[in-house]
Amino acid sequence: MKSLWSDSDAKAFEPDPLELRAYTSRLLGQNADLVLHGGGNTSVKVTAKNLFGDDEEILYVKGSGWDLGAIEAAGFAPVRLDVLRFMAGLDQLSDGEMVRMQRAAMTDPYAPNPSVEAVLHAIIPYKFVDHTHADAVVTISNTPDGEATIRKIYGDRLLLIPYVMPGFILAKTVYDMTRDIDWARYDGMVLMNHGVFSFDDDAKRSYQKMIDIVTMAERYIASETSLKSNAVARTEADLLVLAKVRRQVAEQRGKAVYALLDDAEPAHGFACLPDVDSIACRGPLTPDHIIRTKQMPLIFDDRAVTDGNPVDSFAAAYQDYFDRNSGGEQQCLDKAPRWAVWKQRGLISFGTSLPEAGIIADISQHTIKAIQLAEQLGGWRALPEKDLFEVEYWELEQAKLKTRKISPELQGRIALVTGAASGIGKACVEELLVSGAAVAALDVKPSVNDMYRGQRVLGIVCDVTDDAVLQRSVEQAVRHFGGLDIVVGNAGVFSASQNIEQLQDDAWDEALAVNVTSHQRLMKYSIPFLRHGIDPAIIIVGSKNVPAPGPGAAAYSASKAALTQLARIAALELGRDGIRVNCIHPNAVFDTGVWTQDVLESRAKSYGMSVDEYKTRNILRSSVSSQDVAAMVCAMAGKTFAKTTGAQVPVDGGNERVI
């Protein structure tokens, strides 16, 4: 393992031990093989003057909710060291009481809650203490001869602590084991099945000890193992199976989820292992992961999803696991899996948000590597089920269930918007994002690739009149997010004003191709996935010209009328599948690309009006924007229109001819 220490960088922080502590913590946190998504913790002991001018020993320990990879000085909780050391000497203390006492002993009430390992950090008699969940060390400890192997690698350099529950029990165990030892004999400490500690009065030496400890484990693994590909010949994953299992997980969890497919070689190879059913279900890499991943993944193949509901079987097994281990005081968590092994395909990670799914994906990738290495070191053996249950149902985690979090209405839903690079389409993408959805934004303009930022938007360059490209775009969206729930058919063209006898053939053909045929094809390719979507909906952006056409717009009006009729028929056909189909008829939305100055002048002239008169001719005398239309799109995708299909709703400020 490469050291990231830089003397020149560190020098800028050296006058302040807390800033130096933050720097070395970031070095640890930036290496996913050491610290993965919030795991691990660090601390520094300092002497500071209190309000009364007296010297006071303070432990600055990583605060809850901070990631070591990006932590700043503000992310450390200052706790009075004498209180923490006193707590270590108590015979009994619940973790809830420990958290309250730690909070009460803080010198800054606005700082984050101290790590649950604060007491353990306090009893280690060194200024700097580093704790990681290093993959290499934990992989070795998760084998039948793990303890003997650890001793073989390190000799007497490290303290070995048998696995006990994190929190006060762990701190008390270490306190009792180390009362009479000479700490100077040790460079660090291994918590079996859990992680590694290093410590020193010098920040650089403490960090370097961690790197050295992990490097020795990595070298041992490299000398005893080799990872070879187990993958069979790859075939394209059936995206309908992906969409189906995503919906099954969402139904079991009671919330919409994303399903991130990983079919790269390592994941594909793991999913092809003949004994994957066994080795994948022996527990997580470290017990800290169980909070995010549960004790095991869902394992299924194509047939299991085609013929039934493997998630129901997973949920039944989870209920049995809960019943076996619960003392009757815990509240059962939802029984939905957090990740899955899709046999012969790869891994899937499920999350109500993309960050959650991404974290689970990272953890699963590290886990499958550790499993395969441990199998070559004598066998993968995680903690016993009861120990895992105690972490998953830790009183501190159960307390979080009482805090209700309100999510945006469309959180976890997956939308696809055509004509997404400008006007109404762009506003729809932005409003859907605000409402919590992930969005595939399709447009013929290449700029759609770069105009949106964030992992919840997938820009796809797509000519909707090219059937093959349109189909691939729909499939790309499904593959990227895991399914499809909302389709917004917005792409359209508005031809220059021409009376019928002057109407150019290519203008007529283009209007039909873009405004009607492309939407029929979009429905055709989307419907199979929408059938397995979560509260699926199709929203069609029509036009005021459908109920109230005007002269000089035959191609536009006729094509939009045909599109509306297509949507009405779709509502009739798809209702039995629970797919809602509704239309919006905007008018006078002047902040779109359709309304060029030439078009405005032409339309105003045809009505015998000035441009200003034409733009303010609705009954409410109000301005109608793309954002107003987008808000209606989100309403139609949400609970407001949950019992409505086949509707045609104007967003036009009121039009006399429509009314």
pTM of the model: 0.93
Separation between Cα atoms, residue 226 and residue 31, nearest integer Å: 22
Q: How confident is the model at residue 106 (pLDDT cuts 50, 70, 90)?
A: very high
Instruction: Tell me the β-bridge partners of 557.
Output: none
Please, what's the largest Cα pairwise distance for the chain?
102
In which residue ranges of the chain is CATH 3.40.225.10 found?
7-224, 239-400
Burial (Cβ within 10 Å: 0-12, 13-18, ≥19) of residue 502 = exposed
414-594+625-651, CATH topology level: Rossmann fold (3.40.50)
* The predicted structure's pLDDT at residue 396: 79
Mean pLDDT of 359-365: 97
pLDDT tens across 484-506, in order? 999 999 999 987 788 999 999 99
Separation between Cα atoms, residue 295 and residue 370, nearest integer Å: 16
* The predicted structure's pLDDT at residue 491: 96
Place of tokens 């701190």: 171
Q: How confident is the model at residue 395 (pLDDT cuts 50, 70, 90)?
A: confident
Mean pLDDT of 642-659: 96
* The predicted structure's pLDDT at residue 498: 87
**3-state SS class at 535:** coil
In the predicted model, is pLDDT for residue 462 greater than 80? Answer: yes
Separation between Cα atoms, residue 531 and residue 189, nearest integer Å: 54
**Residue 10 gets which letter from DSSP?**
H
* The predicted structure's pLDDT at residue 508: 95
* The predicted structure's pLDDT at residue 52: 84
In the predicted model, is pLDDT for residue 468 greater than 80? Answer: yes
Mean pLDDT of 64-81: 94
Q: How confident is the model at residue 239 (pLDDT cuts 50, 70, 90)?
A: very high
In the predicted model, is pLDDT for residue 578 greater than 90? Answer: yes
Mean pLDDT of 465-491: 98
* The predicted structure's pLDDT at residue 53: 84
* The predicted structure's pLDDT at residue 507: 93
CB atoms within 10 A of CB 208: 17
In which residue ranges of the chain is CATH 3.40.50.720 found?
414-594+625-651
Domain 239-400: CATH superfamily is: Class II aldolase/adducin N-terminal domain (3.40.225.10)
Lowest model confidence (mean pLDDT) among 49-58, 161-170, 385-394: 49-58
Mean pLDDT of 344-350: 97
Lowest model confidence (mean pLDDT) among 169-178, 511-520, 613-622: 613-622
Helices in 63-110 by DSSP H: which ranges? Answer: 81-88, 95-104
Portion of the chain with pLDDT greater than 70, in percent: 99
pLDDT averaged over the chain? Answer: 94
7-224, CATH topology level: L-fuculose-1-phosphate Aldolase (3.40.225)
